[in-house]
Copies of this chain bind each other. A is one copy, B any other.
């Protein structure tokens, strides 16, 4: 069976996010002053061939740990569809 894994990789909460800060400045320059915090991460969609949802989750988790996310600076969340 083919599953779709959606992996959300975000910078850890305690770390500064300079890209987000720059975008926040840009939004405020555009007049969107109601926005107070911006954090920018990655969204990675994988197509996985696996025999069960659990196996697909495990493969997505392995891919995240080995390549997609840097655990020192980022956290990741996996959703299997």
Contact = CB atoms under 8 A, between A and B. Distances in A.
A59 to B, nearest CB: 6
Contacts of A49: 34-36
Contact of A38 (B38, B45, B66): B45
A72 interface: no
A39 B45 contact: yes
Interface residues of A, number: 33
Interface of A: 2, 8-10, 20, 23, 26-27, 30, 32, 34-50, 59, 62-63, 66-68
A63 B35 contact: yes
A46 B24 CA distance: 9
B43 A43 contact: yes
